[in-house]
Structure 1
Amino acid sequence: MSDATMIPNAESPAGLSQIERVIDTFTAPGTTFEDIRRSTSWWLPWLLAVIVGLGFSFTVQSKVGWAQVYDNVLHQNPKQMQRFDQMQPAQAASVKNIGVKSTQISAYAFPVLGLLIAAIVAGVLMATINFGFGGKATFSQMFAVYYYAGLPLLLKYILAIITLYAGLDPTAFNMKNPVGTNLGYYLGTGTPAWLTSLASSLDIFNLWTAILLIIGCAAVGRVKKSSAAVAIFGWWFILIALSAGSAAIF
């Protein structure tokens, strides 16, 4: 091999480290997502998500308790509370026991469930960007984009941990909406469930994540940011509508 052939390889940039990628996600996100085209490694944001997720679950268990979490869910949903009150005592006790255990298991199974959710989202976004907008993203690239774009959500759960240790009333804790970074957090139990769901979806950290997904999808898919925005906000609005509709029915 000639020296002339070897020169381009010698001068090619080494790329970002995992730590640099995480930092740049908050300070220069475009750099992080462009680097994903070079390497689709996602282990560090996944590891951070596991640490924060398990820390949040442990804090909820020690400061609130899973039985109280279940009671709060009932009291925050008048329809569910009404159905629960109409049950026979033995049936109600059985339903509560199952609910408490399933809540605890799902909370600590987050590392595995998170991978499944990431795979589904990555597949949907890849199909949307590639077939809907002529993109060239791969599944592994979208998988990495998902985890890096989700880093701001870790800040939300760190805030939740802080508020619990700061003395938040356990009876006021909402597992699905643990921090007041959206209007839904401040609505009373008398508010229609669909409106609370809608207001809760419009969260500061959700919006931040959506913006990062737009940047990431545009970078790895090689499409315009406007096209990526249509894809991301389109799916987001669909999910918001489904969530609000489900809350209204159940």
Structure 2
Amino acid sequence: MDTNANSTVSEMSFMQKLISVFTAPRSAFESINARPSWFVPYLITVAITIALQYAVMDITMQDQLAIMEAKDMPAEQMDAVRTQMEGPMKYIGIAMIPIATVAVWVILGGIFLLAGNIMITNSEEVTFKKMLALVSWSSLITIVAGPLRTLLVISKGTMRGVATDLSVLLPVPAIGEDPSLLYLLLSKIDVFVIWQIVLWIIGFSVFYRVETKKAAVPVLTLWAIWIVVSVAFSSFFGQFGM
């Protein structure tokens, strides 16, 4: 591939890139590669996430209380937890979304850059800003995934059993019951996660100027590592409703 392609890529407007991320991602990432940006997609992602989490905040709280009750938490402790969750504390999670999003994206962008530079042998120079832009623009899948999941949660009145992954093929674990290893593994194979992974692979291919197969190596390796780590620590994360 021509390493001087950046100079011949036609510049896209924000709306053109936004549409192209969904309809022609390679063209979108060619434009992003020429002029990497991340802040506007960040604002959109954060705004949507805050709005959707606020919409299901009470449902989430009731689900968390139900889990605590199933684990035979003493009544006095339950009352204290309920009082905290129904007070100003319930807004802390929403307030932390802008900071948490930046933190996660910065870490992920750094990991992507490290993995790409190690696993892809190429003279093409890829910067951290480009990887941060990749994470930011690919996160716009939230525009589709977020409202869909939120509507499902609201229609059911609970987050239990609401999923866009392969765990829907198995019975939902009872409240307070630890999910099986198979359930945890299937829960990692999510249609929107796969969509995002495809975008990451395309982005790597464009940024490093390599074939898609070669670009897939670092992305799929990191995904496999994430599955192993997240499943291994699922019981710990479960204490926090994650």
TM-score (normalizing by structure 1): 0.77
| Residue in 2 that maps onto 1:137 | 126
Matches within 5 A, 1:68-147: 68-72=62-66, 74=68, 81-82=70-71, 85=72, 87-94=73-80, 104-135=91-122, 136-147=125-136
Unaligned runs of 5+ in 2: 1-6
Equivalent residue for 2:151?
A: 162
Equivalent residue of 1:33, what SS? helix
The residue identity in structure 1 corresponding to 2:159 is F
1:188–1:162 Cα change, 3 Å: closer
Contact 1:34 1:219 in 2 (8 A): yes
Q: Structure 2: which amino acid aligns with 1:173?
A: M
Paired AA for residue 25 in structure 2: P
1:89 deviates by: 3.5
Partner amino acid for 1:198?
L
1:188 aligns to 2:168 (yes or no): no
- Amino acid corresponding to residue 154 of structure 1 in structure 2: I
Relative to structure 1, the CA distance from residue 199 to residue 72 in structure 2 (aligned partners, 3 Å threshold; closer, same or farther) is farther
Structure 2 CA distance for partners of 1:137 and 1:99, relative to 1, 3 Å: farther
The match for 1:47 is 43
The CA deviation string for residues 114-145 of structure 1, in whole angstroms up to 9 with x for no partner, is: 11100000000101111221242110000001
- Shift of residue 36 of structure 1? 1.5
The code of the aligned residue for 2:207 comes to: V
Q: Does the 8 Å CA contact 2:33/2:130 hold for their aligned counterparts?
A: yes
TM-aligned CA distance change 1:60 to 1:111, over 3 Å: same
State whether residues 153 and 209 of structure 1, in contact with CA within 8 Å, keep that contact through their aligned partners in structure 2. no
Mapped contact 1:46–1:147 kept (Cα < 8 A): yes
Question: In the aligned structure 2, how far is the partner of 1:95 from the partner of 1:154?
Answer: 33
Q: 1:72, 1:173 within 8 Å by CA — same for their partners in 2? A: no
Tell whether the 8 Å contact from 2:105 to 2:132 is kept in structure 1 after alignment.
Answer: yes
Tell me, which stretches of 5 or more residues in structure 1 are unaligned?
1-10, 76-80
* Cα distance, 1:18 vs structure 2: 1.2
| CA 217–13 in structure 1, closer or farther in 2 if over 3 Å, else same | closer
1:214 aligns with 2:197: no
Query: Deviation at 1:184?
Result: 1.8
Whole-angstrom CA distance in 2 between matches of 1:128 and 1:195: 28
Note if 1:173 corresponds to 2:159: yes
Shift of 1:248: 5.2
Partner SS state of residue 150, structure 1 = helix
Q: Is the 8 A contact 2:138 2:199 kept in 1?
A: yes
Query: Offset of 1:152 from its aligned partner?
Result: 1.8
Deviation at 1:88, TM superposition (A): 3.9
Distance between the aligned counterparts of 2:53 and 2:105, measured in 1? 20
1:20 aligned to 2:12? no
Letter aligned with residue 68 of structure 1: Q
Cα offset, 1:227, TM superposition: 2.1
Cα shift readout 1:26-69 (whole Å, capped 9, x = no counterpart): 111001111112111122321221221011112113xx345314
Whole-angstrom distance in 2 between the partners of 1:26 and 1:234: 24
- Residue matched to 2:221: 234
Number of the residue aligned with 1:35: 31
Take 1:67 and 1:114, find their aligned partners in 2: how far apart are those partners? Answer: 21
Larger radius of gyration: 1
Q: What TM-score, normalized to structure 2?
A: 0.80
Measured on the aligned residues, the alpha-carbon RMSD in Å equals 2.7
Count of paired positions: 224
